Homo-oligomer: A and B are copies of this chain.
Amino acid sequence: MSKPYVIGMDMGGTNTVFGIVDARGQVIASDSIKTLKHDKFEDYVVDLHKAVKRLLESNDAVNKIKGIGIGAPNGNYYTGEIVKAPNLPWGPVIPLAEAISKAFDGIPVAVTNDANAAALGEMTYGAARGLKDFIMITLGTGVGSGIVINGQLVYGHDGFAGELGHMIVKRTNGRMCGCGRTGCLEAYCSATGVARTAREFLEIRKDPSTLRDLEISKITSKDVYDAAVAGDKLAKEIFEYTGTILGEAMADMTVFSSPQAFILFGGLTKAGELLMKPIKEAYDKNVLPIFKGKAKIILSELKESDAAVLGASALGWEAKYHYESPSTHSASSEIPMIVEK
């Protein structure tokens, strides 16, 4: 194989992590840069290119890269753009694939959102190996999802499908969500959702809890976890409440695509059985009879630090879009974008 490596990039609001990955899913080497210290997108690309080049050189990997896969918030597989990402300051539409491929002299680039990248990572190297129908749910600051049906990621007609964190789980009196609506799954079952539940429970209820010793406005999901592990009843109930809402929502996801498995991923899954038990109970209780006992609900097998890079790298192998310099191309000044759809 003349080009034995791909680069996987996980572009987050704070850091951009990237790695050189081989065909067996080994991360040969990785590094990162700060995403948000760059006021201009162009400067970010220059710095990222420099850092990746350095990593390639020190690993004898220059000219051995078949493609670059990038997981980015609101990354669009069809257009290669980032569209209206709440945590990035570089305008509503960022031409990510074009800029990166240009910086890397035309290496093919593919972009998708971070949860889709995680699903690809899981399918290629993790708990979803061999599965053709599964749903990946990422439980972090927000709730993301990557849906695989018949072996293919679901992108939808516009490249933005799989936003299950924005299913409405409370139709009336729901919590405000970052998307501007109310009652979204994400407002309840993310790390921040758990912290909000803690604040609500502490305010509304009167029973004792070690969480009352903390400054209420600063309680985190980690605090709730620590209290629950130490036996605090109210803290345990917060996880029960969270898991029940998620399990009910997952039962609704099942009528859509009847997956073999749900794979849960992200910081909140560190709660383990505190969260998994109520999820499974609510799922079993609520799922349509014809689907009962069929789908497994399991935890990711990938290290959180690796998953996004590995997943993005999996996309790198099939990357098609590549920047062509106008001078070597036709008279057209338009960037040719290969869209497979």
Q: Take A133-B156, A152-B150, A171-B248 as given contacts and tell me if A161 and B256 are in contact as well, using a CB distance cutoff of 8 Å.
A: yes
Verify B288–A179 contact, CB threshold 8 A.
yes
User: When the two chains form their complex, are residues B163 and A288 in contact, meaning their CB atoms are under 8 A apart?
Assistant: yes
Q: A154 contacts which chain B residues (CB < 8 A)?
A: 149-150, 256-257
Q: Which of B156, B252, B288 contacts A258 (CB 8 A)?
A: B156
**A210 shortest CB reach to chain B, Å:** 31
Number of interface residues of A (CB under 8 A): 46
Chain A contacts to B: CB under 8 angstroms: 74, 83-84, 132-133, 147, 149-150, 152, 154-164, 166-171, 179-181, 248, 251-253, 255-260, 286, 288-291, 294, 341
Asked whether, in the complex, the Cβ of B157 is within 8 Å of the Cβ of A290, the reply is: no
- When A167-B255, A171-B171 are in contact, do A260 and B149 touch as well, CB less than 8 Å? no
Given A83-B290, A179-B289, A290-B84, are A256 and B162 also a contact pair (CB < 8 Å)? yes
Q: Are the CB atoms of A133 and B150 closer together than 8 Å? A: no
Chain A contact residues: helix, strand, loop or mixed: loop
Q: Which residues of B contact A291 (CB under 8 A)?
A: 158, 160
A172 to chain B minimum Cβ distance, whole angstroms, is 9
Q: How far is the CA of A133 from the CA of B152 in the complex (A)?
A: 14
Interface centre among A160, A170, A251, A341, by most B CB within 10 Å? A160
CB pair A164–B286 under 8 Å, yes or no, is: no
Complex interface: chain B residues within 8 A of A166 (CB): 255, 288
Known contacts A149-B149, A179-B288, A288-B166; decide if A158 and B294 are in contact (CB<8 Å).
Answer: yes
* Besides A158-B291, A160-B290, A163-B255, 4 new A-B residue pairs in contact (Cβ under 8 A), listed by A number: A149-B154, A156-B257, A162-B255, A167-B252
Collect the chain B residues with CB atoms within 8 Å of residue A152's CB. 150
Tell me if A168 and B257 are in contact (CB < 8 A): no
Tell me the nearest residue of chain B to A184, going by C-beta. Answer: B288
Which of A74, A159, A163 gathers most chain B CB within 10 Å? A163
Q: Which residue in chain B gives the minimum CB-CB distance to A156?
A: B258
User: A259–B171 contact, CB under 8 A?
Assistant: no
Verify A256–B147 contact, CB threshold 8 A.
yes
Given contacts A179-B288, A181-B286, A286-B181, contact A156 B253 (CB under 8 A): no
Interface centre among A154, A257, A260 (most CB of B within 10 A): A257
A181-B288, A289-B180, A341-B132 are known contacts. Are A164 and B259 too (CB-CB below 8 A)? no
Closest to A152 in B: B150
CB-defined contacts of A294 to chain B, threshold 8 Å: 157-158
Residues of B within 8 A of A162 (CB): 255-256, 258
Question: Please, how many angstroms separate the alpha-carbon atoms of A155 and B150 in the complex?
Answer: 8
Q: Which B residues are in CB contact (< 8 Å) with A253?
A: 256
The residue of chain B having its C-beta at the shortest distance from the C-beta of A76 within the complex is B290
Which residues on the B side are within 8 Å of A256 (C-beta)? 147, 154, 161-162, 164, 167, 253, 256-257
A194 to chain B, nearest CB (A): 20
| A126 shortest CB reach to chain B, Å | 18
A89 smallest CB distance to B (angstroms): 18
CB distance from A163 to the nearest CB of B (A): 4
